[in-house]
Amino acid sequence: MVRHLLPNIVAPLATIGTLQVAAMIVAEASLSYLGLGVPPSVPTWGSMLADGQLYLRSAWWTAVFSGAAIMMTTLAINVTGDLLRDVADPKAYNR
């Protein structure tokens, strides 16, 4: 039974797992941005984005780079999940 089920659940689990990791990163950053996340003394991308918003005219890079880090990290995790699905899917097309 494991021999038949395991190859068919690896690809969906890898895809769902990586998408959930990316969603949790965005959720943590959103909650930290709103001030509902971890304590203010702990640096997170969401809190850095909120702090950088106050100094947008004089130090724009604090907000831009923390927002870009969130975006690039979630994009990289989603692309990794897509590649894992392509590699692990037994029904994938031949390349």
pLDDT of residue 20: 96
Q: What is the pLDDT of residue 1?
A: 78
What is the pLDDT, as a whole number, of residue 80?
A: 93
| Chunked mean pLDDT (size 10), the chain, 95 residues | 82 89 96 91 92 91 94 96 81 62
pLDDT of residue 82: 87
Going by C-alpha positions, the residue among 74, 66, 62 that lies closest to residue 27 is 74
Token pair recorded at residue 52: 């950088």
pTM score, whole prediction: 0.82
Residue 95 has what pLDDT? 54
Q: Evaluate whether 10 touches 87 at the Cβ level (below 8 Å).
A: no
Alpha-carbon gap, residue 84 to 45, rounded angstroms: 26
